[in-house]
Chains A and B, each alone.
Chain A
Amino acid sequence: METLLDHAERRIRAAIANLPDGQFVAEDVLEGPDGFVTIRAEVEIRGSEITADFTGTDPELRAPLNCRPVTVHACLAYVTTAMLDPGASPNAGSLRPLHVHAPEGSLVNARYPASLVHSNIVTSQRICDVMIRAMFQAAPQRTIAACSGTQALLCIGGQDPVKGEPFTYIETHGGGSGASHHSDGQSAVHTHMTNTLNSPTEVLEQMFPFHVLEYGLQPDSEGAGRFHGGLGMRKSIRIDAPATMTIAADRVQSRPWGLEGGEAAAPAQLHLLRNGSRIDLKSRTTVQVGPGDVLTLVTPGGGGWGDPGDRSRDALADDLTAGLISQERARAIYSCSELRRGSGSNA
């Protein structure tokens, strides 16, 4: 057992030692109850050790976004493994060279009784983004642009009028993943600290008083770039019962950033259609919904990498043919003038 732990430690240390020493700082925001909340990390690489110091992160909140250092450790372990040694079988040995400093009383080291409810589904995603952005300065080609940055949790509970029983539905939703120096991000996929399966529409409609109107990709939501980020997901559900709905998302007001000149992706969109009128929802909210209300949830895309004008014209033609990017956007953002629909290799 000790041999396996030592081996994992040797592997990750060898990889860290290949990085340049230095201190690398990045920050990003979450949507708090009273405006943006900052998460700041200084990542120090020294020899074969990494220390992530969250001094400068905003204080804990009276909102369910707080987290404990154990979550930060998990994020650092994930980011380090994914960046430096994707083939590894991580174990406690690979954690030995990784250190976290999370100031007590800050958002990342909250004290009792601060709420931690969305620590794993929202805050952890932003902690990963921030650390990756810091480490981009040390090893750009091993990083990716920001991912959708929220697991977009949706929870609906109520009384099923047909079955005459109470129901509770809960699901998280994937978005775009960030582009890298050599490839586009993936669309409508779970990223970073989650990888749960979706609920098939045919299962949802069997189990709950829901009717799914649409489940697909959101065109034009990618962070533009030479390699673009993945697209967000678009899902519309008609709720055929009186119910209480809670949404826990983020990135409605901020956007997943790009790298090396790549652009930020489209933000999340959350709204209800009730009797023909649209009600915009905040990133975290609880509302009563009635029979016939239609929720539309659009998750953010992933950030782009490199100047969109440098995107290969063949790849752009494929995007147009597939309907992932509109003609207008191709012209405005990707400086595309001469493309014809149908000229791509997918045609």
Chain B
Amino acid sequence: MDSAGDQLIVGADVGGTFTDLIAVGADGVLHVAKVPSTPDDPGRAVLQGIKHLCADLGYASSQVALLLHGTTVATNAVLQRRGAKTALLTTRGFRDVLEIGRQSRPRLFDFDARRSEPLIPRSRRVEVLERMEASGAISTPLEAESLDQAIRALRATGAEAIAICFLHAYKNSTHEVQAEQRIHEVWPSVSVSISSKVLPEYREYERTSTTAINAFVAPVMERYLAGLKRQLQTEAVTCPVQVMQSNGGLMSVEQAVHLPAATVLSGLAAGALGGVRLAHRAKQDVVLTLDMGGTSCDLALGVGGSVPTNHAAEVDGLPIRLPALDVHTIGAGGGSIAYLDAGAALRVGPRSAGAIPGPACYGRRGTDPTVTDANLLLGRLSETGLLGGKIPLDRSRAAEAVRRIADPLGLSVEEAAAGIIRVVNAGMARQMRVLTIERGVDPRTCTLVAFGGGGPAHAVDLARELEIPTVIVPPAPGVTSALGLLLSDYRHDRIQTALLELDRTDVPREAGERLTAIYEQLEAQVLAGVREALKGENCTVVRQAEMRYIRQGHELRVAVPDGALDGASLNDVLREFDRVHAARFGYCIPEESVLLVNALATATIPSSIVMSTAISTSPQSTVPESRPVWFGGEYHQAKVYRWNALPLGRTLCGPIIIEQLDSTTVIPPGAAVGVDDQGNLLVQVGHR
């Protein structure tokens, strides 16, 4: 291949076991690499993957023009509590906000239910005398002397990162900024996160928690990205690096260093977005994604090529109020363990055999029956094993494990294995109903996009359960997250608490002016944000508001028009709120005053990467093998195809098993499958 003048764009997604990479050159063809992750220094695997790809494609590594990066460094720092030693500076009298939380416990019927430990222990939570009123007025000024005294107390904790969160700082940030500046003057080496910059939204616990998470992961993220850059430079990769956020958009490395908390849930975002955007390219508008791995299964609903954003996420029980794509995770994966509970009911998960010891059939000392064991016993997985035989599967060990639940239930091993599949599918189907029927979306209008190692084996059964007519399996189901990076936009979000009361009879001009000023400031911030990542012209800004009827406790999100807001346009916003309220709750109160709680703005620049989506392969034309596979209570002889030996342009009828490097697609009797021009499997699920 002559590629001397070409440039390569690389997406690199770091997972727990593998680091997946996808590269696209000037011809638009995608190339895939999968290398083992290096958890001690995740950047090493990224570099190895880039070297692999370049060597395979005949590119020099200096031809890499852009690296899009999905990283779980911040996520893992929180989950494993391995972030920076962090201290908190807060208003006198409120040191324990982070510990009391919302005073609730996570499970009702459990004496051992424990709230998550705060990231900052009480001994490192320092108070300072200062106070803002709810109006933003200063009732107790922050005196230089007490600030310096508090800074000395912070230094005495030995912290390497500081979170600052003062009461009502969303309204008036003067004291927080004053404290930040003073710390920079007298203690320049420490990393500082302040709540009025991280999240200027009211409700002190959630704001403090989000700011604490940011402070806790900031030094870790900074070290990681600096190290990555150094490693890349040793291989002459000097291109810009952009980082995936939880909101499904990319940001610059510099932004990632300042707001690393925005990446904490990014691991879920890239996969869901990849699935939704692939389906959108295949002309599917309403899409459910099913990403089933070894331990868990991520599900999301996408409409028109995007996934809705959720502002009330949690990580490890700690609230994080930064926008994240609305992806639901349940404990259902290939390694999920099946057991009989005290009432002799068959249960599956959330406990997982993980990669070590792994399912019983891996022969690595695992003895509990898992979903993978059940799939193997029923002939859905090949005994040749996973990853092209690198992990052979032992059918007799699987049978031995499943017999432990089959015998007490008086079932054959196959019947018990089919029961395990039904139970794990029931959990996923329940979550699919939450995402569709419970939100007024008819699953019969949806397409199910299945990926991850396990998704394609379970997808048709699940689609039939919800009467979803079509399943799409992308060409490389095991690297959909990496592909999602190439399909992501540049995005920047910002929120500001406004707490503006809008009276129906008389929306004052002053309210319109105040709101206009808030939105103009937000717009300037988000525009500067995306343009820092990419100097694009094609930038859109969307305004939204979170509103509620006066005296309600929960907000709904409503679109807000551009430009200056006056009485007429605010009346339009109020009517739109009534409409959204009626759509969600079945009624509205058109005469009731409305509280505009938060103003939000989002700027996006769409991705301009040209790609064909088809994965480069070396087609093999082999005659399909066949093997017995258990469907509907008996064995059927199913044809077994290699994915890259599938005949193009033909429709094949189940039962069929389609095998590829990192995934197996199961097509039961009654379903039919074809391959589209993008390399997707399109399955018409038919009937049982």
Contact = CB atoms under 8 A, between A and B. Distances in A.
Contacts, number: 131
Contacts of B110: 82, 86
Contacts of A206: 134, 202, 499
A321 interface: yes
Contacts of A323: 122-123
A90 B343 CA distance: 12
B133 interface: yes
A8 B343 contact: yes
Contacts of B97: 201, 215-216
Given A202-B168, A216-B96, A10 B344 contact: yes
Interface stretch (A57-65, A179-187, A261-269, A271-279): A179-187
Given A78-B109, A215-B96, A215-B97, A85 B342 contact: yes
Interface residues of A, number: 55
A83 interface: yes
B204 interface: yes
Contact of A11 (B103, B204, B343): B343
Contacts of B102: 197-198
A54 B172 CA distance: 56
Contacts of A188: 96, 99-100, 103
A288 interface: no
Interface string A280-307: 0000000000000000000000000000
Interface string A177-221: 100100100111111000111101111011000011111110000
Nearest to A217: B96
Interface string A1-38: 00000011111001100000000000000000000000
A86 B112 contact: yes
Contact of B111 (A15, A83, A212, A214): A83
Given A214-B93, A216-B94, A180 B111 contact: yes
State the main secondary structure of chain B at its contact with A.
Answer: loop
A203 B206 CA distance: 12
A121 to B, nearest CB: 14
A170 interface: no
Contacts of B112: 86, 180, 183
A216 B104 contact: no
B204 A200 contact: yes
Query: Which of A9, A191, A200, A203 neighbours the largest number of chain B CB atoms within 10 Å of its CB?
Result: A200
B108 interface: yes
A14 B107 CA distance: 22
A322 B123 contact: yes
A112 to B, nearest CB: 31
A226 interface: no
A201 B105 contact: no
A180 B343 CA distance: 27
B345 interface: yes
A144 interface: yes
B103 A197 contact: yes
B104 A346 contact: no
Interface centre among A90, A180, A217, A324 (most CB of B within 10 A): A217
Nearest to B202: A202
B99 A187 contact: yes
A81 interface: yes
Given A142-B111, A186-B114, A202-B167, 10 more contacts: A7-B344, A11-B342, A11-B343, A14-B342, A188-B96, A190-B105, A200-B202, A211-B139, A216-B97, A321-B123
Interface of A: 7-11, 14-15, 78, 81-83, 85-86, 88, 90, 142-144, 173-174, 177, 180, 183, 186-191, 195-198, 200-203, 205-206, 211-217, 233, 236, 321-324, 344, 346-347
Interface of B: 93-97, 99-100, 102-105, 107-115, 121-124, 133-134, 139, 158, 167-168, 170, 202-205, 341-345, 499
28 contacts: A7-B345, A86-B110, A143-B111, A173-B103, A177-B105, A186-B114, A187-B100, A196-B104, A197-B102, A198-B100, A198-B102, A200-B203, A202-B134, A202-B204, A203-B203, A205-B134, A206-B134, A212-B93, A213-B93, A215-B94, A215-B97, A217-B96, A233-B100, A322-B121, A322-B123, A346-B121, A346-B123, A346-B124
